Amino acid sequence: MQEILKIKSIKAEEILASNGKPTLKVEVFLENGISQKFKVPIGTSKGKKEAKEIRDNNPNYFLGLGVKKAIKNIKEVIEPKLVGENVFLQDKIDQILIELDGTKDKSKLGANALIGVSAASLKAASKAKKMPLWKYVSQIYNFSPKIPGFLMNFVNGGKHSFSPLKFQEYLFVIEGKIKVLERLNLAYFVFEKLKEKVKMLGVKGIGVGDEGGIVFPFKDEKLPLKILNEIISSLPPLTSHYSLPLLGLDFAASSFYKNGFYETSSKNLTSQEMLKYILEITKKFNLFYLEDPFCEDDFESFKKLNLETKNFNFPSFVVGDDLTVTNETLIEKAGKMKAISGVIIKPNQIGTISETIKAIKMAQKLNLKIIVSHRSGETEDNFLADFAVGVGSDFSKMGGICRGERIVKYNRIIEIENEIQSI
């Protein structure tokens, strides 16, 4: 028989994300006195097909980015319908949220309002069951939990910084069964060597970007890859199960696609020329990971690149983010076309936990690698770490080894690793 524990009330407040923009903190209270909060992340580089946030559009209040309307929607529309619902019925809670909104893109009540309530409900249910969130997620959705590999941001460009670099993220990839603290030791070593290397070159850094990567005044997209490759190639064996780290890129190509051309540092490229350029740098630097290498509507170019990577003498896979926006239908399309080998998962891109789970299940059915990802505007909530482990993701993107809103997630992964080992 299904255990019953009813939702008593829901509270929403306005807080700030790591980039200083307003976001939501949603707290779900249960009849037995338990409550849990979820702090909603926000994206800067957004796919045009992802679910829509609700913002206030008051230019005199955070330049129009306030979320008081979303709070009002939770208080006046969502809470009255969810009070009395069983918190253990996540799919039913999410279906009520979806029906209350009634739009395909969550534009009536706001994806920020919906994911806030949905995720806070999930956290409250796991607390009521006296289970770590990762374990609760794995049990109710029948996943095999595991510690994912890391995709760590070391250089920020694109919309995540003031750098002239067009490519958005230069990623340090650690896969395999290396212990978490040993992975972080590797990452810290490379991060420090990166700073030293740049000083030697006489290039002055200009701080860190939204996701914890160093921001440099580079224009040449290949230069950070050259520097990182040199550092990685000279690494000492820092772990007991040494596995050479790899490099990857999140191009976020939609952000520099204008009037039919990709505006790179050397010249404007057609889609075919961009394909050749990506293949050139992928082969030169043995890039393991290629995220959003083309604009978000260009499934065919994704497919061409994905097919080309199969001919490399090293592992490399193509990943959709803006292309697929955690949407089950778009993931199915991209997967069946062989346009991608992996997919980014961001719960706030789609609006509810249940829809996120459906997207993951579809990706698994199509044998795509699962990458659970943060957003550029993060919070100190460590939900993402538990969720990535709970759904058995292949990789997680949680940022650089820098900035508190990123480090809190790595610290939670350390705890989870200990929890799993103690079972």
**DSSP string covering 355-406, please?**
HHHHHHHHHHHTTPEEEEE--SB--S--HHHHHHHHTT-SEEE---S-SHHH
Q: Determine contact, residues 321/344, Cβ cutoff 8 Å.
A: yes
In a 10 Å sphere around its CB, with 0-12 CB exposed, 13-18 middle and 19+ buried, how is residue 251 labelled?
buried
**Catalytic residue list:** 211, 346
CA geometry: angle 229, 219, 172, nearest 5 deg: 30
Token duo for residue 240: 């007991």
Sheet holding 257-258, edge to edge: 257-258, 261-263, 268-269
Strands 257-258 and 35-39: unpaired
CA 152 – CA 196 distance, rounded (Å): 19
Please state the length of the chain: 423
Token duo for residue 327: 């949407």
Q: What values do phi and psi take at 8, rounded to 5?
A: -95, -45
In a 10 Å sphere around its CB, with 0-12 CB exposed, 13-18 middle and 19+ buried, how is residue 24 labelled?
buried
Q: Which helix (H) or strand (E) holds 153?
A: strand 149-156
Strands 342-345 and 317-320: parallel
